[in-house]
Structure 1
Amino acid sequence: MSLRISQSLSRAVLRPSPSTLLRTSIISRRFQSTQQKKDLPILYSAHAKVVGARKGHVEAESLNVDLTMSKALGGPGDAGKTNPEEMFAAGYGACFQSAMNAVAAKDGITMPTAPEDSIVETTVHLIGDMQKLDLGLRVDMKIMVRGLEMEQIKGIVEKTKNVCPYSRAIKGNVWTEYTVVKLD
């Protein structure tokens, strides 16, 4: 059984519900205050150095990877190399799954412990018009969980959208479609 949940850019930007508006304004004020006063503690910082753009190299404390321009964008799509969209998909998927685990634990729900029983597949699409330099992202995320009821999974996913730092960062800016699947 699966369920699709879409985050509509037009709804998020043009017609937010009163509860969303209240919640968003509280969250926004909190982080605006943080940006102005820098009063929240930094939990972790990641730094990466990119040399050569999409055909270059990325170095970070625990990452050392070569980049390639995908074939779809006119590049060679070199095997063994990655691109910004793959890195975003991996980061977002891992972050969302970790946030799901935290949300479930806070709600007293035990997530499956076997890695194959809780899977997040994330596809990041580069969209727009290259000629006009009018580019953006679209995300499709498939969340598959075994051992929980569909309503539990849907509830965890809904709460996770407001907890995951990636979800919060792209909210209202990136069309995101969530598909929830209960694994048998």
Structure 2
Amino acid sequence: MSVSPLYTAHGAATGGRDGKGTITGSDVILNLATPKEMGGNGNGNNPEQLFAVGYSACYIGAMQYAATQDSSLPKVPADVKVEAAVGIGPREAGGFGLTVSLTVTLPGVDKSEAERLTAAAHKICPYSNAVRGNVDVQTALS
């Protein structure tokens, strides 16, 4: 598989799950904290939250792009919303793994048409492509 990047993002972390995160070229500094459910104090953001936000935003972009490439797909309404729930836990094979549940809200779009659009988006979205075969991703319409 070959990818020719159009853009490359840069960020860094210090201190691991209980440290700081920065985005190169911006003023964003994130206080990172292990979730309470994993033994931390939860007083900050964690990688799973950041992944959830990134996947949600990118998936909306993939739906929008899909609609421009296939005129039979419905247009994405301006008030579209994608909520991502990213779970982390031990894997049977050892180590840790992720689960993802996407809940897509497409006001005014017929359910069957929304299903076609979300399926097309999964073929385009780089997050969907990156995790395919490695992460259980469920998609639901609300």
Letter in 2 for 1:144: T
Q: CA offset at residue 133 of structure 1?
A: 5.5
Distance in 1, matches of 2:32 and 2:131, equals: 23
Letter in 2 for 1:178: T
Distance in 2, matches of 1:106 and 1:119, equals: 21
Query: Is 1:102 aligned to residue 102 of structure 2?
Result: no
Query: Is 1:171 aligned to residue 118 of structure 2?
Result: no
Query: Is 1:73 aligned to residue 38 of structure 2?
Result: yes
Letter in 1 for 2:18: K
Query: What's the TM-score once normalised by structure 1's chain length?
Result: 0.70
Structure 1 partner of 2:141: 180
Distance in 2, matches of 1:160 and 1:44, equals: 20
- CA offsets 1:131-181 (integer angstroms, 9 cap, x no match): x96210011110111111111110011111110000000000001111123
RMSD: 1.6
Letter in 1 for 2:6: L
Letter in 1 for 2:128: S
Structure 2 partner of 1:122: 84
Distance in 1, matches of 2:107 and 2:22, equals: 36
Query: What's the TM-score once normalised by structure 2's chain length?
Result: 0.90
Letter in 2 for 1:71: K
Query: Is 1:143 aligned to residue 108 of structure 2?
Result: no
Query: Is 1:64 aligned to residue 57 of structure 2?
Result: no
**Paired residue secondary structure (1:95):** helix
Structure 1 partner of 2:48: 85
| Number of residue-to-residue matches in the alignment | 137
Distance in 2, matches of 1:65 and 1:133, equals: 29
Distance in 2, matches of 1:140 and 1:127, equals: 14
Query: Is 1:53 aligned to residue 24 of structure 2?
Result: no
**Paired residue secondary structure (1:162):** helix
Distance in 1, matches of 2:76 and 2:114, equals: 10
Distance in 2, matches of 1:110 and 1:175, equals: 27
Distance in 2, matches of 1:110 and 1:174, equals: 28
Q: Which runs of 5+ in 2 are unaligned?
A: none
Distance in 1, matches of 2:96 and 2:9, equals: 25
Q: CA offset at residue 57 of structure 1?
A: 0.6
**Structure (1/2) with the larger helix percentage:** 1
Which has the greater radius of gyration? 1
Distance in 2, matches of 1:125 and 1:53, equals: 18
- CA offsets 1:21-69 (integer angstroms, 9 cap, x no match): xxxxxxxxxx2xx2xxxxx542110011110000001111233211001
